[in-house]
Copies of this chain bind each other. A is one copy, B any other.
Amino acid sequence: MFTIGEFSLISRLTVKTLRYYHDEGILVPDYIDDDSGYRYYRQTSVERAMIITMLRDMDFSINGIREMLSGYTEDTELLEHLEKQQHKLKDKISQAKTAESSLEEIIKSIRRIKMNTKHINYEIQEKQVEDIIFAGFRFKGKYDEVGSAFKKVGRKAGRFISGNALTLYYDCEYKENDADIEAGFPVSKSLKANSGIDCKILKGGKSVTIVHKGPYESLNKSYEKLFTFIEQKKYKSLSPSREVYLKGPGMIFKGNPENYLTEIQVLIQ
C-alpha cells in the first residue's frame, strides 16, 4: 500500500489530481484510514492510473473516462466513443496545423521587414529613383484617410503588389483638410483602371531622400531637414513628393509608432 504521495510519484499524477479523481470516483483509493482520512493505494491501482492518464492524453473528459471504465459499455458503444474522440482529435490537429502555418507566414513577413530595415541610412541622400508601375487612388481629404485608401487599392492590386506602400502629395504646401493625395502600391504589371483606382508609370530620376524614424506626427521635422538641404544645394524640387512606408502600422499589428520608418523622396531638377 502506498500513501498518496508515493502513489503520486509512481503514477506521475499530482496529489491534487489524485484527490480530484477520488472525488470524481474514477480512481478511488484502495483503503482509507477512518481516523486520519489518509488515502492508501495498491499496486493494482497504478495500472488504472496509467489508463486514465492515457485517456486524458487523448483528451477524453473525466465523465467520458468514468463511463468507459465503468465496465458496462457495450463494444459498439465503446467504439463509437473512441471514433468520436478520434474525429475530435483529427479536427484539433487540422485546426492547429492551419493556425500554425498562418502564424508561420506572419512570422516570416515580420522577419522580412526586420531584414529590410536593418541597415538603413538615416542621413540625407542624393540618389537615383527608378521608374515604377504604380496603382493608386487619388483623393482630396485629410492625411489620415490614406489608411482606407490603401485598403481599397490593396483589395484590387492584391497579389501584384511588389513593394512598400507609398503616397504622393500633389500640394506644395501643408493642408489640414483638403490635401490632394494619391495612395497606393508599386505593382508588377499594369492593371485595368477600376472604381477610381488608376495605374500609371511613375517616372523616377534624381532625388533627395531621407528616412524618418518615428510617428507620422513628427514627419515635418524630416521634411524641414530635406527642404533646407535642397535649398542649400540650390536644387529645384518637383511635385509630387513621395512618402514610402518602410515600416508602419502594418496589416495586423499596430507596432510602436516610435519605430515607424518612412522614406521621404523629393525628385529634383
Q: Which residues of A contact B (CB under 8 A)?
A: 51, 54, 57-59, 68-69, 71-75, 78-79, 82-83, 85-86, 89-90, 92-93, 95-97, 99-100, 102-104, 106-107, 110-111, 113-114, 252-257, 259
Contact = CB atoms under 8 A, between A and B. Distances in A.
A83 B68 contact: no
Contact of A107 (B57, B83, B103, B111): B83
A195 to B, nearest CB: 17
Given A75-B113, A89-B100, A93-B100, 7 more contacts: A57-B99, A58-B102, A59-B99, A68-B253, A71-B256, A75-B110, A93-B93
Contacts of A69: 253-254
Contact of A257 (B71, B78, B102): B71
Contacts of A54: 102, 252
9 contacts: A57-B99, A58-B102, A71-B257, A73-B255, A78-B255, A89-B103, A90-B100, A92-B92, A93-B96
The 10 closest A-B pairs by CB, nearest first: A71-B254, A89-B100, A58-B99, A93-B96, A86-B103, A82-B107, A92-B96, A57-B99, A72-B256, A58-B103
User: What's the dominant secondary structure at chain A's contact region?
Assistant: helix
Given A93-B96, A97-B93, A111-B79, A255 B71 contact: yes
A114 B257 contact: no
A78 B254 contact: no
Contacts of A104: 86
A213 to B, nearest CB: 13
A187 to B, nearest CB: 23
A107 B81 CA distance: 10
A144 to B, nearest CB: 11
